[in-house]
Amino acid sequence: MGLTGLEIFKHLPKTNCKECGSPTCLAFAMALASGKASLDACPYVSEEAKAALDSASAPPIKLVKVGAGDHAVELGDETELFRHDKRFFHPTSIAVLISDTEDAAASAELFDALEFDRVGLHYVTDMVAVQCASGDAAKFKAAVEAVAGKTQKAMILIAEDPAVMEAALPAVKDRNPLVYAANAGNYEKMVELAKANNCPLAVKGKDLNETAELVEKIVALGYKELVLDSGARETSKVLADLTQMRRLAVRKKYRPFGYPTIAFTSKENAQEEILQAGVYVSKYASIVVLKAREKQQLLPLLAWRQNLFTDPQKPIAVEPKLYDVGEPDENSPVYVTTNFSLTYFIVEGEVEGSRIPSRILSVDTGGVSVLTAYADNKFSAETIAAAMKKAGLDEKVKHRQIVIPGHVAVLKGALEEASGWEVLVGPREASGIPKFAKERFA
Ligand code: SF4
């Protein structure tokens, strides 16, 4: 259980020097108790006080890394129960399951190609889980090595027999795989293996109580790089367990559940499996392991994950600048829009559809759409004229005509005055751009 603000306050220097960013030591203690500050922010805490405050200053959910180099994934280190309270920080890692009874190298090659681009964002499946279904240590080792040879992405090794794990783990220990899993019957040997190879360890109980007990035993053995599995596989039970673990870790600072979590899908039908995985991404799995591996199956899951893990205070935006569509020259049309990602990519798609090489000037509106930005004076004659100047349009374009969205036709006069360019009023909806472009520029 975490310390209260007053208990923490007793260990602070009480000089109210403000260097931590809080107005008083008491305010800092309160922020620390609620997980909204880090003890490192106070440079004057003694070593004795640090030791005493360890449980209060540790994040409610430990940060655990799986994988190595550019493909390492960070799990946990979450502070909120609800996204709107602040944000969620580390997106759920999506792991694709490969069995040692299939052609593991071929499957890993297909897995490695599972990458998607959508609204200017790049989506990837982050992890590959290799499962020992054969029960044969040599076969498992061969599959693990084959997968490691085909992808650099983070790995999970699934074998609950320590002898099988021991056969495969040393070969890929430099890749820092997640060792799955320590259970009530094997945990001492699994901890030994995880420690010897310096890899994170999954802990699997039969239920929440057994999981908590196992964590306490493993921590007592001196290992804390843990990922938790409550053992449930039925959707509503997994959801209840994940929610309970998150709630106890964040609200009560209950240490046995202060680690990232892993969930496995159980549905065989791909659509049902993706829905099940979507539930676990929503609340609150750090890793979801699933069998689906077709792009069209995974795309909705990755899109949902992307939306959930964005900062709710910050709209998704593209860089405000001048973009080329095709290979425009000094006679090509110029369109202007905002830097809200969805708006920009819809406009770009329609301009591309017109088949006339063009430029699109994306104005910095803080990532909000045309009408919202106009209402807030962020998409005005002045901001557009300033963006035109910054993009060097005068030097790049001969005809000195610019197309504004039909919704802000009212800006025409003021923008002509501010920029010295002729302003053409485009269609109200981006879908009208191809027809508009053919009539005006073809
Ligand atoms: S930096 Fe330390 S001593 Fe200074 S106000 Fe903050 S908690 Fe108190």
pLDDT at residue 311, as a whole number: 78
Residues 283, 353 within the same domain: no
316 located within any domain? no
408 located within any domain? yes
Tokens, residue 148: 């490691």
Question: Could you list the residue range(s) of the whole structural domain that residue 398 is in?
Answer: 322-441
For residue 424, give the nearest of 326, 334, 293 by alpha carbon.
334
315 located within any domain? no
With a 6 Å cutoff on the Cβ, whether 382 touches ligand 1 is no
Residues 69, 159 within the same domain: yes
- Distance in angstroms (rounded) separating the CA atoms of residues 215 and 223: 9
225 located within any domain? yes
Residues 42, 166 within the same domain: no
Determine which helix (DSSP H) or strand (DSSP E) holds 202, and give its type and residue range. strand 201-204
CA angle 242, 245, 249 (to 5 degrees): 140
Residues 253, 334 within the same domain: no
Mean pLDDT of 50-63: 78
Residues 98, 203 within the same domain: yes
Quote the ligand 1 centre to 12 CA distance (angstroms).
7
265 located within any domain? yes
Mean pLDDT of 172-183: 98
For the domain that residue 19 is a member of, what is the CATH number?
A: 1.10.15.40
Distances in Å between the Cα of 317 and the Cα atoms of 114, 220, 321, 362 are 24, 47, 12, 10
- Which bin fits 77, alpha (ψ -120 to 50), beta or left (φ > 0)? left
Tell me the per-residue pLDDT of 100-158, one tens digit each, with 9 for 90 and over: 999 999 999 999 888 888 767 788 889 999 999 999 999 999 999 999 999 999 999 99
Atom of ligand 1 nearest to the CA of 14: 8
Axis-axis angle for helices 137-150, 104-112 (nearest 10) = 30
317 located within any domain? no
Residues 189, 51 within the same domain: no
- The reported pTM is 0.74
Asked if 408 contacts 427 with a C-beta cutoff of 8 angstroms, the reply is: no
Atom of ligand 1 nearest to the CA of 41: 1
pLDDT at residue 56, as a whole number: 62
Mean pLDDT of 200-208: 97
Mean pLDDT of 47-75: 86
Residue 441 has pLDDT above 90, yes or no: yes
Residues 277, 345 within the same domain: no
CA angle 231, 235, 279 (to 5 degrees): 110
Residue 284 has pLDDT above 70, yes or no: yes
Asked if 158 contacts 98 with a C-beta cutoff of 8 angstroms, the reply is: no
For the domain that residue 121 is a member of, what is the CATH number?
A: 3.20.20.20
Which one-letter amino acid corresponds to residue 304? W
Residues 24, 147 within the same domain: no
Mean pLDDT of 214-220: 96
Residues 74, 39 within the same domain: no
Over the chain, what is the mean pLDDT? Answer: 93
Q: How far apart are the first and last CA of the chain?
A: 70
Q: Hey, which of 28, 40, 57 would you mutate to test ligand 1's pocket, going by the most ligand atoms within 8 Å of its Cβ?
A: 28
- Distance in angstroms (rounded) separating the CA atoms of residues 62 and 60: 7
Burial class from Cβ neighbours inside 10 Å (0-12, 13-18, 19+) for residue 5 reads middle
pLDDT at residue 306, as a whole number: 87
For residue 193, give the nearest of 211, 217, 218 by alpha carbon.
218
Burial class from Cβ neighbours inside 10 Å (0-12, 13-18, 19+) for residue 398 reads exposed
Residues 47, 132 within the same domain: no
Number of domains making up the chain: 3
Residue 12 has pLDDT above 90, yes or no: yes
Of 16-25, 79-88, 97-106, 293-302, where does mean pLDDT reach its minimum? 79-88
Residues 142, 27 within the same domain: no
Q: Hey, which of 30, 40, 42 would you mutate to test ligand 1's pocket, going by the most ligand atoms within 8 Å of its Cβ?
A: 42
Mean pLDDT of 376-394: 96
Give the domain-ending residue among 241, 273, 308: 308
For the domain that residue 395 is a member of, what is the CATH number?
A: 3.40.50.11600
314 located within any domain? no
Residues 70, 46 within the same domain: no
With a 6 Å cutoff on the Cβ, whether 40 touches ligand 1 is no
Residue 330 C-beta-side C-alpha neighbours within 13 Å: 6
Residue 226 has pLDDT above 60, yes or no: yes
With a 6 Å cutoff on the Cβ, whether 197 touches ligand 1 is no
140 located within any domain? yes
Distances in Å between the Cα of 199 and the Cα atoms of 173, 191, 193, 250 are 7, 10, 8, 25
Distances in Å between the Cα of 264 and the Cα atoms of 110, 206, 232, 367, 427 are 21, 14, 9, 36, 48
pLDDT at residue 55, as a whole number: 62
- Distance in angstroms (rounded) separating the CA atoms of residues 328 and 334: 9
pLDDT at residue 60, as a whole number: 87
| Residue-wise DSSP of 2-55 | PPPHHHHHTTS------TTSSSSHHHHHHHHHTTSS-GGG-TT--HHHHHHTHH
pLDDT at residue 259, as a whole number: 97
For residue 374, give the nearest of 348, 412, 400, 345 by alpha carbon.
412
